Structure formats: C-alpha cells, structure tokens
Amino acid sequence: METRKLYYEDAFLRSFEATVLSCEESKGGFAVVLDATAFYPEGGGQPCDFGVLGGAAVKDVREKGGIITHTCDKSLAVGDTVHGEIDWARRFDHMQQHSGEHIVSGMLCSAYHCDNVGFHMGADKVVIDYNADIPWEGVLAIEAKANQYLWENHPFCETWYEGAALEAVEYRSKKPLEGAVRITEFPDADRCACCGTHVALSGQVGLLKFIGHQKFRDGVRLELLCGKRALDYLALNQQQNQAVAQALSVKVGKTFEAVQRVQNELLSVKQGYAALQEQSFAAIAEKYDGCGDTVLFHEKMDSDSVRRLCDMVAARCGGRCAVFAGEDGAYTYAVIHAGQDIRDFIKQMNAALNGRGGGRDGFAQGSVSCSAEEISQYFGGVQ
Ligand SMILES: [Zn+2]
C-alpha cells in the first residue's frame, strides 16, 4: 500500500499522528514505514526532511514505488500510533529555496527560450544550470522582476493532470510522463511538473538574490539564495563592507574606490622603497669591488631583495657571493657564483648550517637555522 503523503495535502503540516506498518533493522538505523507521513522524501532536487518520529530521530527519508521509508535511530513497535514532528526550520528553508527557484527559472527560461538543465539544492546555496548564455545584467534584471513578483504575493497552485488533459496543458521542460502528474504553478511566472513542497504565497519566499554566475558548457551556471539564506548573506556582506568603510573612513557605497586608492598608494610606496633599496645595494656592492669570495649579512628582507643584493655584489666581487639576511636562528640566504656549479657546495653548507634550499646555474636560495658566528666560521673554513 502506498504511503499517504500528508505534505501534498498540506505543505505547512509540521506534526502528525500515524501508524507504524513496519520497522526493520537497516543500514544506518531502522527502516520505518507508516500509513501516512508529513516527512518529505528526497526528490526533485529537494533534500529530505529531518525530525522526530515516536521519540526516534529521523535521519533520512526515501521514496520507492510510492512507499516512503524513514531511517530512524531507534526501533518503533509495529501497530503503534506514533507522533511525528518535522524539523520545520529545515523544511521551510527548502520550501523557500525551491519555490524561489521555480519563479526565477520560469522567468529566465521564458525570457531566454532555454531550459533548466541542472539543479542542486546544497546546504548553503542553490546551483542552477541553463542552456543559454545569459549575461549577468540579464540575470539581475530577472532578479528584480522575481523579487517584485514575491512582494505581489501571488498564490501558489497545483493541479493533477492525466492522459489527454496532461497532453493539452503547457508547462516548462515538458516531456512524456506516465499516470497522474502534479503540475505546480506560480501564475504568470512558472508552470512545471514537480514533486517538491512549495510555499503557499510567493511572498513567503521573502527575498531572492543571485550570488554567482559562470560559464557552464553551452550556457551558464547560476547560484541563488532565497529567504533567510539571502538575508544572512546580505547581512554578512553589509557587516564586512561596514568594517572596510570604517577602516578607510569612507561611506559604505565608496569602499571599492577607497580600496583602489589604497592599492595605488601602496604601489607608489613600494616603488619608492625599491628605488631606495637599489641605491643602498649599489653602495654595498661598491665596497666589495674585486674582493673575491664574499660573505655578508643584512637585516631581514624578503627573498627577492636578498637575491638582488647578492646579484649586485656578485657582479662586483669577482668570486662567490653569499648573502644572509635575518637574525640568529633564522636567516634567508642567496649564493651566486657566476658560471660555476655550486650544487655540492650548497648541499654541504645546508648540512653544516642546518639549512634547506638549492638552485642551479651558479645560483642558490634557501634558509638556515644557525647563528651569524657559525656562518662566519663555516665560510672561514671553506675559503
Ligand atoms: Zn517544485
């Protein structure tokens, strides 16, 4: 006997009483079948409901051949009347996402003469694929229209069709279907064959926001948030933007310009610093003119600066140049010996000075964990 589907009779039913028809130990718990249920099983892209059934936690709900099986964490007695309570926050969120998806898909598919070719309702967002190259501006125009539709508070309706009546009715993504088919409708927005649960009035979706748009196969993949998810996302963005605005002393609507200004300022400071560094390195290199093999120390710098200083000194000293930048215990190094194979030298140096790194063509870069004295002693010994 097929399970009576209370969620089709009333999508807003949160609790119910039903009789346990069977309960068997199964993978992940106990498989419970009732004569009737308000628990929605996974289907049509909508995840299943969770909740409590006769004191047992419902962890999964599936439908096969019209029979709905609840996976519970405890066994229930066959013949007992049990009380079921669905996790309403989870279900209502699903109804908001699912109904919002209907409205935007109906509007997008009609405006761009395309189909919804993929749909996934994730834990954080809804992902929808369309087989048309819809530009982001077009998506935003539909977003505005869909929100307007929500606020006009249109009633949702559904009708079961069969045979010739089904053939006569027009609906989105129409394909041959057997038996009685449930055609769901948000009037003037979408008409579609669907097995999911929906809000009763479009206003209950609350708010609708697209947050992602990317090319996907021959069309686009869009990311959508509805209801509380959209509000939570916008609240997080507002909080972040407010913090950036305060940090940069600008109005909330001017943060991007302010960030660009700071980036430009940083770039010019970096350029000024690089010019000063170049002068400083040239003065250091001059001191080592013709000195042959050289070891020198510098305060902490980024590895690119260490390499450039080493390069400039190596060009003047006429031998192998080793630069160590940092402090005892943590030095970054660069070693340059033009035209020489220094791989063995670096290997031995790393072993002696607790270091790591390497290179090729007369150049090596890395780090050592030792003191300046140990470095000086080592180079004194090998020179
Ligand atoms: Zn639906």
**pLDDT one-digit tens code per residue, 2-29:** 999 999 999 999 999 999 999 999 989 9
Q: What is the CATH number of the domain that holds 322?
A: 3.10.310.40
**What value does the mean pLDDT take over residues 152-166?**
94
| 80 and 102 fall within a common domain | no
**What value does the mean pLDDT take over residues 313-340?**
96
pLDDT value at 383 more than 60? no
Pair 156, 184: CB distance under 8 Å:
yes
Residue where a domain terminates, one of 66, 86, 106:
86
Domain assignment present for residue 352? The answer is: yes
Per the structure, how many domains does the chain have?
3
| 120 and 225 fall within a common domain | yes
> Ligand 1 centroid vs 18 CA: distance in angstroms?
25
Neighbours of ion ligand 1 (CB under 5 A): 194, 196
**What value does the mean pLDDT take over residues 274-282?**
95
> Ligand 1 centroid vs 235 CA: distance in angstroms?
28
> Ligand 1 centroid vs 158 CA: distance in angstroms?
10
| 291 and 160 fall within a common domain | no
The predicted structure's pLDDT at residue 266: 97
| 168 and 216 fall within a common domain | yes
Pair 87, 119: CB distance under 8 Å:
no
The predicted structure's pLDDT at residue 173: 81
| 70 and 138 fall within a common domain | no
The predicted structure's pLDDT at residue 178: 83
| 59 and 107 fall within a common domain | no
Cα angle for residues 297, 300, 305 (degrees, 5° grid): 85
| 105 and 212 fall within a common domain | yes
Domain assignment present for residue 293? The answer is: yes
Domain assignment present for residue 241? The answer is: no
Domain assignment present for residue 271? The answer is: no
Q: Between β-strands 190-193 and 56-64, what pairing exists: parallel, antiparallel or unpaired?
A: unpaired
| 31 and 102 fall within a common domain | no
Taken in order 208, 209, 212, 217, is the CA torsion positive or negative?
Answer: positive
| 229 and 306 fall within a common domain | no
> Ligand 1 centroid vs 197 CA: distance in angstroms?
6
| 190 and 103 fall within a common domain | yes
pLDDT band, residue 111 (cuts 50/70/90): very high
The predicted structure's pLDDT at residue 95: 96
pLDDT value at 138 more than 80? yes
Q: How confident is the prediction for the chain on average, in pLDDT?
A: 95
Q: Between β-strands 363-368 and 330-336, what pairing exists: parallel, antiparallel or unpaired?
A: antiparallel
Q: Which of 162, 166, 114, 173 is nearest to 139 (CA)?
A: 114
**What value does the mean pLDDT take over residues 346-355?**
96
| 100 and 220 fall within a common domain | yes
Residue where a domain terminates, one of 71, 86, 101:
86
> Ligand 1 centroid vs 185 CA: distance in angstroms?
9
The predicted structure's pLDDT at residue 314: 96
The predicted structure's pLDDT at residue 12: 97
Instruction: Pick 69 or 44 by higher pLDDT.
Output: 69
Taken in order 235, 241, 244, 249, is the CA torsion positive or negative?
Answer: negative
**pLDDT one-digit tens code per residue, 64-103:** 999 999 999 999 999 999 999 999 999 999 999 999 999 9
> Ligand 1 centroid vs 99 CA: distance in angstroms?
6
Domain assignment present for residue 263? The answer is: no
Domain assignment present for residue 243? The answer is: no
pLDDT value at 357 more than 80? yes
The predicted structure's pLDDT at residue 176: 81
The predicted structure's pLDDT at residue 382: 66
Q: Which helix (H) or strand (E) holds 215?
A: strand 208-216
User: Going by C-beta distance under 8 Å and a sequence separation of 6 or more, which residues neighbour residue 124?
Assistant: 229
Q: What is the pTM of this model?
A: 0.79
pLDDT value at 381 more than 80? no
**pLDDT one-digit tens code per residue, 242-264:** 999 999 999 999 999 999 999 99
The Cβ of residue 186 has, within 10 Å, a number of other Cβ atoms equal to 26
Q: Which domain holds residue 161?
A: 92-236
Domain assignment present for residue 266? The answer is: no
**What value does the mean pLDDT take over residues 131-145?**
97
**% of residues, the chain, pLDDT over 70:** 99
> Ligand 1 centroid vs 256 CA: distance in angstroms?
39
Residue where a domain terminates, one of 61, 86, 111:
86
**What value does the mean pLDDT take over residues 181-197?**
94
Collapsed DSSP state (helix, strand, coil) of residue 27: coil
